[in-house]
Structure 1
Amino acid sequence: MAKATKTNKTGASKLHSTKNPISENIRGSMVELLQTHLATSIDITYQTKQAHWNVKGMNFIAVHELFDDLHEVVEDYVDKIAERLTALGGQAHGTVQASAGNTILEPYPLDLVKSEDHLRRLADSYSAWSKAAQEGIEEASEAGDALTEDLLTEVARGLDKSIYFLESHFQS
C-alpha cells in the first residue's frame, strides 16, 4: 500500500511511493509543474463558464454554445493533468481554493457582458496558458518525462484550436 503524502515546511508535498520508473527528483519536479497546470486548467474551466453564463449580444446563442463546448474540452484536461500528477506519486491540489493560489492566469473580470469582450478576454487566458504549456513541454522534455511532455503537447494543441475558435469572432 502506498504511503500517504506529508507536507513539508514549505507546503510542498512529499511523493507517494510508486513503482513508476522515473526518478523521485524528476517526478517531484514534474508534479510541481503539473500542479500549476492543474490550477490553471481549473481556473480556465470556470473562466469559460463565467463567460457562458453571462454573455449577451446579437450572436448570443452561438457564443453561449461555443463557451460551453470550450468548457467541456478544458474540463477533460483537468482530469488528465490530475491523473498524470497522481500517477507520478503526487497529491492533486484540485480545489478551487488551491487553484486560485497556483494559477498563472489573471483574474477574470466579473462585469463582462458583451460577447466580444468575453471572446477577447478568454483568448487572452487561453493564450497565456498555451504559452505556459509550451514551456512545460520543453521542461518535461529536458527532464526526460516523455509522458508529461506528450500530455502537455495534447493540451497545447487543444488550446491553440480554442484560441482559433475564440479569435475568429473578431479577426477580419
Structure 2
Amino acid sequence: MSTQKTVLQEAGTVEESSLRLDVEKAEQIIDALNTDLAATYTFYHQIRKHHWNVEGAEFRDLHIFLGEFAEDLEAAADEQAERLQALGGVPVAGMAALAERSPVEPEDEDVYDIRTSLENDLEMGGDIIETMREHVEVAQNLGDHATAHILREELTELEENVHHLEHYLEDDSLKQ
C-alpha cells in the first residue's frame, strides 16, 4: 500500500492535456482505452499461463509462439496506458480494477490440454478484436486520429496472432 499522502490525480478522472482534445471527447476515448487495457492484460495473463504450461509434440513451437504473443500483448497494454495518460486520463491498474473493467473472462486456474487452452484463447481473442474494432470507430468519430491509428496497428497485430491460433487448431495439428 502506498504511503504517499497527496493524490496527484484520482483514478477515473480526466484532466485537460496538451493534446488539445476536448475533455468530453477525451473521456469517451479514455473509457474505451481503459477497457482495451483491462482486456489486453487479461488476455496477456491467459496467454502467459498457456506459455508456461504447454506440453506435447508441438511444445517448442507453441511455447515460442505463445511467449512472443504475450510480449506483443504486453507492449500493446503499455501503449494503451501511455496514450490514455497523454489524453489526460489515469490507466486502470491493480488486479481487482483490471478484472472488474475487463470485458472478457479469463479461464480458471486449472491447467488444460493445449487444444482446449488454444480454443479458449481463440474465443477471448475474437471477443477483444470485436471490442477494439468498435473503439477504433469511437476514436475516429471523435476526431482522435492518433488513437484510432494506434488501435488499428494493435488490432492488426492481434488479428494476426489470433489467426495463428486458428492455424494451430486445424485438424491435422495437435492431438484431438
TM-score higher than 0.5? yes
Question: 2:165 & 2:9 partners in 1: Cα distance?
Answer: 40
Secondary structure of the corresponding residue to residue 110 of structure 1: coil
Q: Which residue of 2 aligns with 1:137?
A: 136
Q: Which residue of 2 aligns with 1:123?
A: 122
Q: Which residue of 2 aligns with 1:34?
A: 33
Q: Provide Cα deviations, 1:101-137, integer angstroms capped at 9, x if missing partner.
A: 1111122133233221111111111111111100111
TM-score (norm 2): 0.87
Question: 1:19 & 1:75 partners in 2: Cα distance?
Answer: 26
Are positions 1:44 and 2:48 aligned together? no
Residue pairs, 1:1-172, within 5 angstroms: 4-6=8-10, 13-171=12-170
Deviation at 1:89, TM superposition (A): 0.4
Structure 2, unmatched stretches of 5+, are 1-6, 172-176
Deviation at 1:5, TM superposition (A): 2.2
User: 2:48, 2:66 within 8 Å by CA — same for their partners in 1?
Assistant: yes
Q: What RMSD, in angstroms, separates the aligned Cα atoms of the two structures?
A: 1.6
Q: Provide Cα deviations, 1:79-102, integer angstroms capped at 9, x if missing partner.
A: 100000000000111222211111
TM-score (norm 1): 0.89
Moved more, 108-117 or 124-133: 108-117
Deviation at 1:139, TM superposition (A): 1.1
Q: Provide Cα deviations, 1:7-60, integer angstroms capped at 9, x if missing partner.
A: 6xxxxx222332221101001111111110111111111011111112222211
Structure 1, unmatched stretches of 5+, are 8-12
User: 2:43, 2:73 within 8 Å by CA — same for their partners in 1?
Assistant: yes
What is the letter of the counterpart of residue 32 of structure 2?
A: L
Deviation at 1:76, TM superposition (A): 0.3
- Aligned-pair identity in percent equals 24
Runs of 4+ in structure 1 off by over 4 angstroms are: none
Secondary structure of the corresponding residue to residue 20 of structure 2: coil
User: 1:56, 1:113 within 8 Å by CA — same for their partners in 2?
Assistant: no
